[in-house]
């Protein structure tokens, strides 16, 4: 509607403040779409039980795949809309009908085109990985490529933003719009037609390249540890080491650490916090171990069995990060301690989420709900501490106290769950 309206209504385009703002928003919309696509892909990486729900219907693998694509697209679009809705509504209120032109040009088309191209590219890459000797790691390879693409997109956008101070376009997409406005008449029709063609080709490629049958994801990787290693690690540590979620967190953390080492937008040690992500699935994934020995082990022992493997992975990652920083950025080694502390708090937090919202069979909706509830709780506590205007010592004391309380509540939750399930856990 906005593109059609632009044929009759003159939008405030040109070197105006609104074009500058929407140019920034277009770059943000593209990055948000990539980040949302990556997040949904990670959460749905092992959600094979959702495919099983549709097996009783007279549908083929491609039809089920198309349904999941629509669900994924809807979730990505809702996420982008939540982040950009206030800005879009403000533009409509201030500018009137021309605001619709700007929304369609700088927000809607970039999101649709970016998602369509990502979907087609991911399908083709997944098909290529199935033919390569990567075995069970093919989905992790796909996620690694998506992380690299997201990092490259942020880098390109930042370079354009620096060039905008010299009169250049504020984003790659804004530069494309300027070029079309100077060369095509009418440019909205050319832009809309080009976007429609790209989306149609991407959708066709995604449907043609979709696998003819559903290949379930492997929950665990084949890591050969040996009898001595199995005896030293124990069942819980071994389960955590072989989990695909652990391998995925390592890949993402290494990619983020490498990118921040090359271009330190923030401290590279921040990537260590990503190693705690497998804790979201740890309690549900080790449920069989609970049933084998849960009636013989107290709740605090089970909590330690869930937290210690994550702490061991964090310790290993910290050692490697410190060695790399000593070789590349020695002055920043002293700041690693703060990020390690934040990572420990993150491990406590995600373990509590995994117990309160157990992701049985890698259920992504349980993780989404738990993460949303946790985000609201953290935002409320952050606002409260900000209103108090407390000193850093008081803030640190509050964080430690809340962490201790959260550990206690998690142990109590494990005790209640095991007590309820005790009749069904008997050998």
Q: What is the pLDDT of residues 309-345, one digit of tens each?
A: 888 888 888 898 888 888 888 887 888 888 888 888 8
30: Cβ contacts below 8 Å, ≥ 6 apart: 110, 111, 114, 153, 157, 171, 173
Angstrom distance (rounded) from CA 25 to CA 28 = 5
Total residue length of the chain: 427
Angstrom distance (rounded) from CA 362 to CA 219 = 9
Angstrom distance (rounded) from CA 326 to CA 417 = 45
| Residue 104 burial (10 A CB sphere; 0-12, 13-18, 19+) | buried
Please tell me the predicted confidence (pLDDT) of residue 427.
46
CA distances from 190 to 22, 97, 159, 180, 327 (A): 19, 20, 27, 8, 52
Instruction: State the CB neighbour count (10 A cutoff) for residue 267.
Output: 17
Angstrom distance (rounded) from CA 43 to CA 32 = 16
Instruction: State the CB neighbour count (10 A cutoff) for residue 315.
Output: 12
Q: Are 351 and 306 in contact (CB under 8 A)?
A: yes
CA distances from 236 to 114, 240, 348, 354 (A): 41, 6, 17, 15
Angstrom distance (rounded) from CA 155 to CA 301 = 45
CB hemisphere CA count around 283 (13 angstroms): 29
Segments of the chain scoring below 50 in pLDDT? 15, 294-295, 426-427
Residue whose C-alpha is closest to residue 107's, from 161, 203, 177, 16: 177
Please tell me the predicted confidence (pLDDT) of residue 212.
62
Q: Is the overall model pTM greater than 0.75, yes or no?
A: no
Helices (H), 210-298: 226-242, 244-262, 279-285, 287-293
Angstrom distance (rounded) from CA 344 to CA 330 = 23
Residue whose C-alpha is closest to residue 94's, from 1, 188, 17, 169: 17
Angstrom distance (rounded) from CA 29 to CA 159 = 17
Angstrom distance (rounded) from CA 365 to CA 280 = 12
């Amino acid at each position: 509607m906005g593109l059609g309206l632009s044929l009759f209504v003159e939008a405030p385009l040109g070197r105006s403040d609104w074009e500058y703002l929407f140019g920034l928003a277009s770059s943000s919309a593209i990055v948000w779409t990539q980040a949302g696509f990556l997040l949904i892909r990670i959460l749905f990486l092992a959600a094979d039980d959702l495919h099983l729900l549709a097996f009783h219907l007279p549908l083929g693998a491609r039809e089920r795949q198309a349904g999941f694509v629509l669900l994924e697209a809807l979730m990505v679009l809702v996420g982008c809309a939540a982040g950009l809705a206030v800005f879009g509504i403000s533009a409509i209120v201030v500018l009137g009908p021309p605001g619709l032109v700007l929304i369609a040009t700088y927000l809607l088309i970039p999101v649709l085109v970016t998602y369509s191209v990502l979907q087609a590219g991911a399908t083709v890459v997944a098909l290529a990985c199935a033919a390569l000797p990567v075995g069970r790691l093919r989905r992790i390879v796909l996620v690694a490529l998506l992380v690299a693409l997201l990092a490259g997109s942020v880098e390109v956008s930042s370079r354009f933003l620096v060039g905008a101070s010299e009169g250049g376009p504020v984003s790659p997409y804004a530069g494309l719009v300027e070029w079309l406005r100077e060369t095509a008449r009418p440019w909205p029709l050319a832009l809309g037609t080009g976007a429609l063609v790209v989306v149609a080709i991407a959708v066709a490629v995604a449907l043609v390249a979709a696998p003819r049958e559903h290949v379930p994801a492997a929950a665990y990787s084949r890591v050969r540890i040996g009898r001595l290693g199995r005896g030293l690690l124990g069942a819980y540590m071994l389960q955590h080491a072989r989990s695909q979620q652990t391998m995925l967190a390592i890949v993402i953390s290494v990619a983020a650490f490498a990118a921040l080492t090359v271009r330190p937008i923030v401290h590279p040690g921040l990537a260590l916090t990503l190693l705690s992500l497998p804790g979201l699935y740890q309690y549900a994934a080790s449920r069989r171990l609970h049933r084998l020995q849960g009636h013989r082990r107290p709740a605090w022992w089970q909590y330690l069995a869930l937290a210690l493997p994550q702490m061991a992975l964090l310790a290993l990652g910290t050692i490697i990060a410190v060695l790399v920083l000593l070789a590349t950025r020695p002055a920043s080694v002293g700041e690693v301690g703060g990020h390690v502390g934040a990572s420990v708090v993150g491990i406590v937090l995600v373990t509590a989420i995994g117990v309160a919202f157990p992701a049985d069979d890698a259920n992504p909706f349980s993780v989404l709900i738990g993460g949303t509830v946790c985000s609201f709780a953290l935002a409320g506590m952050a606002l409260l501490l900000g209103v108090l205007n407390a000193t850093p010592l008081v803030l640190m004391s509050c964080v430690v106290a809340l962490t201790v309380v959260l550990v206690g509540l998690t142990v109590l939750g494990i005790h209640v769950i095991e007590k309820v399930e005790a009749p069904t856990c008997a050998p």
